[in-house]
Chain A
């Protein structure tokens, strides 16, 4: 068993992808979730439905459309190519875009629920104490929505680590560039390299399990404190 050579590049690539995706999702998802939690706009249900689509669509469907849209034949891919000189499909950037869209509901939904449960009266109290709307958002809404943030971060990270279909469609399996952990496992199995597949798959199982333990225990703790 000791002579098996494991290539760790897919693991690092996966962690890099999951971290980047989570950070971008927090930046996009937080204001979006806040807006959805407060708005009475007629378009709210429609936007919620669009965000939740990745929950019901097979990843290959999303991956297929992204492949079409991001490819240089389409204007989005074309525009990107003319600005940066690089392509979107079969690159890390393309993977990030795909992952962000695919994990969007896993960030927006818990955040939206958490923001909805922040009482309007508490925010009004903060206003009477001289806090501007932005100040209230950062000092009251975000800390009170902390359990929602923990859930969102963990789910988005873990979901990106575990994704396969979207990544395969828009990234392919280019070692060191787009070959993430789940795809590396698939390739090992295809080549009948079961030992390598075992180590990577077992590692992933352990990682997912630890993530969930962390999530549930911290949420329990933060609820106790409140």
Chain B
């Protein structure tokens, strides 16, 4: 099942990239880390734009690099789409010809330029030159161009970093569409927690050229030894399905792990999956389940307690195997006598749709 197998060692001046990982072949794998941590170098190695003296890479059991046998497949023979931070469109070609560039060179095409142009909303731009496009439009064309080679792997190097907020908001839904409509694994570099929470299924955390963590989104976000739980925004992301709309109260009911979640009305059809986030600061704990103004209450087991500051404790909980975080005071921990293994009621004050 794990079908991206990678191992790289590269020294460039003071910087050393030295990591090894296996990752699932589906969904969005976020590569997360501070600037200068080696994220871009890592995906350049995966793309074959850099050759490491020690290295191994195989995608779906197809070997792309094996330095033990001195084997290195050059970039143009790798079935990969690469979306750069700047779109890097060909300035001398129209949008249409940019889209055709990779497509014409692909022997096993699965999609047509028309389909992809429609999907990414670039059909009205086909006759234009890149210089006449906005930043967001350019990036959409770049994504479309990369998809057209029907890649086995899509690499995206902070595709939103160079864009203003408006363009980011405009392009995120298209990225989510990629996630749901294509079964191409996507390696997505970012240092934005928002993008991670909206898009990622799996995360590789990198720091100073080394792999710090490699796990699913929910596990990474709730691991108390990683920086995510230390921020003000710490929380979990839950993928839930819409089961019912309540017109009278203007609410929508979602389900995950046999639990029911109540949120403000969402304008999406029943059956669709949505991502919601529950912040640690919005979760309080109680020993008994009593009726209150709070609608979302889950029975949960305490799996870990970590003192963050002198006054604050981060509690890691499990709701039928799904992790949840609660940030409460140390005084409350004492009052309720909370310990690992205890079953409590997690009361969620607010749930945000991502």
Contact = CB atoms under 8 A, between A and B. Distances in A.
Interface of A: 119, 121-122, 124-133, 135, 139-140, 143-144, 146, 225-226
Contact of A124 (B49, B77, B101, B105): B49
A125 B89 CA distance: 8
Most buried by A among B74, B81, B92, B145: B92
Contact of B76 (A121, A131, A139, A225): A131
Contact of B92 (A119, A130, A132, A226): A226
The 5 closest A-B pairs by CB, nearest first: A129-B102, A130-B105, A128-B82, A127-B75, A125-B88
16 contacts: A119-B88, A121-B84, A122-B90, A124-B84, A125-B88, A126-B90, A126-B101, A128-B49, A128-B80, A128-B82, A128-B102, A130-B105, A132-B76, A140-B90, A143-B92, A226-B131
Given A127-B49, A128-B80, A226 B91 contact: yes
Given A128-B78, A226-B91, 11 more contacts: A119-B88, A122-B88, A125-B82, A125-B89, A125-B90, A127-B74, A128-B80, A128-B82, A128-B102, A129-B146, A131-B105
A125 B84 contact: yes
Interface of B: 47, 49, 74-78, 80-82, 84, 86, 88-92, 101-102, 105-106, 129, 131, 145-146, 149
Given A129-B145, A131-B76, A121 B129 contact: no
Q: For the complex, would chain A's binding face be called helix, strand, loop or mixed by DSSP majority?
A: helix
B142 to A, nearest CB: 8
Given A143-B92, A226-B92, A226-B131, A129 B86 contact: no
A124 B43 CA distance: 13
B94 to A, nearest CB: 11
A128 B90 contact: no
A121 B105 contact: no
A130 B104 CA distance: 9
B91 A144 contact: yes
Contact of A128 (B91, B92, B129, B146): B146
A130 B90 contact: no
B158 to A, nearest CB: 14
